[in-house]
Structure formats: structure tokens, C-alpha cells
């Protein structure tokens, strides 16, 4: 960590001098460069503002769902920006009513059904590598989480320096509802939330609003949607790479907010009581007992979500979050990559394709999970998701020697 900070301080002192003497480019000018021209139908737009770069996820009709090409483009852009001494910091936002709804799982579903498994592997590999790049980025990063922010959308924002939530933000990790597991670094950041809130969010897929994200630490700042343009303009005028100066601007134009009294963040004691157990079965038993004794609406809702989710995904996801509590970001991503590839292999279960079919393709909302009950999910099934990929399938390789994870 000391090595990372020393390198960052050295780079910052040099970059600040260059930024201050650099001629400002006009606001909102789209940057023509070779990287952008490589893919004519790209869904990542770029704007150059003073000493910064703005990456815009631009698939509004798909809620800015992330594709392999988008993750690859982000990687290429962020690498070039990190090396460019004229660029002090980077901003990311989404088009339309979402920041990003996560990975493009419908495309993954179709590719799997067409036998294009290697395409799916490439998606996870490319996305996870970008997330590690962001989590070890040497320049300040600001993500405006305005609107829907789910799954992989959280993965490409939460590891950065600053996350600005708004009154339009809706955050969730709903993967167990589609027969998958919270991935894209989720086992790292969920496991570091207060108490067992991470387990609750991972297993139920429950959503948080912007105020709740601030309260539990998922977001660093809050702004009303109507003020975002002002904040963006203020940031665009900064000629700096100093995160403290950026933070001062975010604090100055941000909004102080508190969650509602009925918010889940005020139920940490109840969450810990129910979701602190060792197994999914014990968690469900605790919730059922709580419902019987108190008739609590929150417990009833959580219980309903658990019973709708894939039994296998519940057990896999619980173990994932528990392991994430003792692992670094790179370790979590490497493990999640194993889990994701095992999950799409269909060797144990076809729950991922079945979940996507039921919720996003046919939309009958009646998935036929396999196994259909928690009792039928064996320890060996769960262990398989965490097992090494084997000799013929390489593990996820991250540049941990060059980029130190937190």
C-alpha cells in the first residue's frame, strides 16, 4: 500500500504541473482518437473536459448493460488515460435512466444456447480485468450512479475513488434470482458492509436507494438528480489530479441526506440476527421464526425472495460472501471467475440459463431450479463452484505484481 501511495504522489506532482499549463479544450467535445474509431458501433462515448476524461456508458435501450466490447474499450481507454500526463482524473456515467444494469446476460444466455461458451468466458475475463484496473487505478475516479446500478454496473464503479449516488439511484445484486452469484467484485465489497448486510443483499437481491448507499458506505457522496449537471460542470473546470480537491468539490455541491426510518440500514440488528447464521437453511429458519413472532413485513419480504431464488445459487453466494470477507479484491475476482465459469459450464446445474429464460426472455417468472430445494443441494455441488478450473482452462490472470490490490 505504501508503494502504491508513493507512486501516486510522484505521478500527481508531475501531472498537476502539466494540467495547469495545458490549454483547456472546449467542454463536451467528443474526442476523436484511434481507440474510438476501432469499433464503429461502440457503446462507450468519450468527452474531454479540461484535465479530465468522461466515459459514458451508452446503451440506454438496454439500461447500459455491459458487453465484452464495452469492457474491452473501457480497459483500453483507462489504460491510455492513466499513462497520459495531461489527464488528471476520470469520470464515468450512464445514458438514460440507468448507470448500468450489469452484464448483458441475455446475450450470454443466447451464446450459451448456441454453444459459444468461449465468448462467454471472454466476457467474464475482460470485465473482471477492467474491474481490477479500476480498483488499482492511479488517478482519481468519479462515478455518477444516477439510476439503476446493478450487478456488474456496481462492479465497474464501486472499486473507484468516488461514487456519487442520487435520488434516482437503485442499487441491487439480484443474481440469485437468475441462478447465478453476485460477481464482478461483489463478494469483496458486500462482505465489507456493516454486520451481515452483505449477506442479506447478496441472497435476497433487495435494493437500496441512494441515501441507503451513503449510509452503508457503498457510495461516497449524494446529489439530487437536478444538481448533477452543475457538479459535472464544476468538476470539468478543475485542473488537478488531487483527490482531495475533487472531494472538496463533491462535498460543496453535494446534498446531505439520511435514510427513511423504515430503511433496512436501521435493521442491522435484525439482519445480523437472521443472516449471521452459518447456513442458508438456518437463515430461513430464523426468518420464519421472526415472522411467526413479530409478523414483520421486512422478514416476510426477505423470506419470499429467498424462496424464489435458486437454492444452489443461495448456498454458493453465501459461501462466496463469507470467503470475500478475508480476501483482497484480486483474490475475490479470481475466485469469482472460477465460480462464473463453473456456473455456465452446466456440469452441475443449468440454473443460470433457466433463470435468465424465466425472468428476462420468456418472462414467465416460473424458473424450474435444479436442484429444486435446499435439501437437494449437496456439499459437493457447492464445492465444485470453488474448485480450480483445471489444466486445460487457465485461471484469471491479473497484474498483481505491477498493480497492488487493496
Instruction: Provide the annotated active-site residues.
Output: 103, 152, 175, 183
Angle at 329 between CA 324 and CA 332, to 5 degrees: 45
- State phi, psi for 187 to the nearest 5 degrees: -65, -20
Q: How many CB atoms lie within 10 A of CB 90?
A: 22
> Running DSSP on this structure, what letter comes out for residue 169?
-
Gap between the Cα atoms of 241 and 329, Å rounded: 24
Torsion of CA 121, 124, 130, 134, to 10 degrees: -160
Helices 329-345 and 117-135: crossing angle, nearest 10°? 170
Contact yes or no for 151/184 (Cβ under 8 A): yes
Gap between the Cα atoms of 127 and 102, Å rounded: 11
Contact residues for 290 (Cβ-Cβ < 8 A; gap 6+): 270, 273, 274, 296, 299
C-alpha cell at 18: 502539466
Strands (E), 111-187: 141-145, 148-150, 162-166, 170-172
Pairing of strands 44-49, 29-30: antiparallel
Gap between the Cα atoms of 359 and 365, Å rounded: 5
In 3D space, the residue among 373, 344, 342, 371 whose CA is nearest the CA of residue 356 turns out to be: 344
Q: Kindly list the distances between the CA atom of residue 76 and the CA atoms of 4, 128, 130, in Å, as whole numbers in the listed order.
A: 21, 14, 9
Amino acid at each position: 500500500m505504501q508503494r502504491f501511495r508513493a507512486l501516486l504522489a510522484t505521478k500527481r506532482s508531475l501531472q498537476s504541473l502539466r494540467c495547469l499549463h495545458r490549454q483547456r479544450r472546449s467542454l463536451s467535445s467528443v474526442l476523436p482518437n484511434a481507440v474510438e474509431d476501432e469499433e464503429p458501433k461502440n457503446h462507450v462515448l468519450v468527452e474531454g473536459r479540461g484535465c479530465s476524461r468522461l466515459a459514458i456508458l451508452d446503451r440506454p435501450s438496454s439500461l447500459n448493460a455491459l458487453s465484452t466490447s464495452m469492457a474491452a474499450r473501457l480497459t483500453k481507454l483507462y489504460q491510455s488515460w492513466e499513462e497520459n500526463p495531461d489527464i488528471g482524473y476520470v469520470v464515468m456515467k450512464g445514458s438514460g435512466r440507468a448507470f448500468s444494469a450489469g452484464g448483458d446476460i441475455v446475450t450470454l444466455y443466447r451464446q450459451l444456447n448456441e454453444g459459444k461458451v468461449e465468448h462467454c468466458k471472454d466476457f467474464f475475463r475482460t470485465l473482471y480485468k477492467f474491474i481490477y484496473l479500476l480498483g488499482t487505478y492511479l488517478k482519481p475516479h468519479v462515478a455518477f450512479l444516477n439510476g439503476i446500478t446493478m450487478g456488474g454496473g456496481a462492479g465497474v464503479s464501486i472499486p473507484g475513488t468516488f461514487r456519487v449516488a442520487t435520488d434516482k439511484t437503485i442499487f441491487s445484486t439480484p443474481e440469485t434470482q437468475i441462478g447465478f452469484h453476485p460477481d464482478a467484485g461483489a463478494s469483496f465489497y458486500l462482505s465489507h458492509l456493516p454486520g451481515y448486510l452483505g449477506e442479506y443483499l447478496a441472497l435476497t437481491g433487495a435494493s437500496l436507494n441512494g441515501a441507503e448507499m451513503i449510509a452503508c458506505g457503498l457510495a461516497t457522496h449524494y446529489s439530487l438528480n437536478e444538481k448533477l449537471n452543475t457538479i459535472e460542470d464544476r468538476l470539468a473546470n478543475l485542473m488537478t489530479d488531487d483527490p482531495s480537491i475533487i472531494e472538496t468539490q463533491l462535498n460543496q455541491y453535494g446534498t446531505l441526506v439520511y435514510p427513511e426510518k423504515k430503511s433496512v440500514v436501521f435493521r442491522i440488528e435484525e439482519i445480523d440476527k437472521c443472516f449471521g447464521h452459518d447456513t442458508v437453511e438456518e437463515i430461513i429458519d430464523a426468518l420464519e421464526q421472526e415472522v411467526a413472532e413479530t409478523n414483520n413485513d421486512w422478514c416476510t419480504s426477505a423470506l419470499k425472495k429467498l424462496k424464489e431464488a435458486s437454492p444452489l445459487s443461495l448456498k454458493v453466494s453465501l459461501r462466496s460472501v463469507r470467503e470475500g470477507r478475508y480476501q483482497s479484491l484480486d483474490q475475490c475476482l479470481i475466485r469469482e471467475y472460477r465460480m462464473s465459469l463453473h456456473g455456465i459450464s452446466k456440469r452441475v446445474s443449468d440454473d443460470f440459463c433457466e433463470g435468465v429464460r424465466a425472468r428476462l426472455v420468456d418472462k414467465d417468472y416460473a424458473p424450474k431450479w435444479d436442484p429444486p430445494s435446499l435439501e437437494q443441494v449437496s456439499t459437493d455441488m457447492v464445492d465444485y463452484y470453488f474448485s480450480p478450473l483445471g489444466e486445460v482452462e487457465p485461471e484469471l490472470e491479473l497484474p498483481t505484481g505491477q498493480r497492488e490490490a487493496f
